[in-house]
Amino acid sequence: MSARTVALLLAALLLLVQAQLWFGRGGVPQVRELRERLHLQEATNEAARQRNAELGSEVRDLQEGLEMIEEVARHQLGLVRPNEIFVQIRRPEAAAGAEPSSLAPEAPAQAAPISRSN
């Protein structure tokens, strides 16, 4: 083989590789398109992450809010759930029949709901 034939063969192979790079599967245009789609998907994912964080925060606030409402209703208003028995324990007075001192604050009554299973 002559040097010219080898050079032409190498040039043809180079053109074939370049054509594959520019026009074939996995070529430059397809990579560019995939990068654009990737950036768009990453932006969409970030927006979804932010929305999920907002919703998670909202759910936690609602749960804590409901728990706070239930706590206030139980302790301050004496409300109980269905199938619970309310038991209140009062502290005995210092002497039988003695009136509590108006200067001393009353000791708070202890209350605890008890669940009753049927």
Provide the sign of the torsion angle of the four alpha carbons 14, 15, 16, 18, taken in this order: positive
* pLDDT tens, position by position, 44-62: 999 999 999 999 998 888 8
What are 94's two structure tokens? 């210092």
* pLDDT tens, position by position, 64-111: 888 888 888 888 888 888 888 878 788 887 655 555 554 444 545 555
Distance CA 9, CA 1 (A): 11
Contact 111, 88 (CB under 8 A): yes
Highest mean pLDDT among 4-13, 20-29, 60-69: 4-13
What are 83's two structure tokens? 């199938």
Distance CA 50, CA 42 (A): 12
pLDDT of residue 71: 83
Structural domain boundaries in the chain: 29-78
pLDDT of residue 37: 97
What are 8's two structure tokens? 């032409």
Q: What is the mean pLDDT of residues 2-20?
A: 88
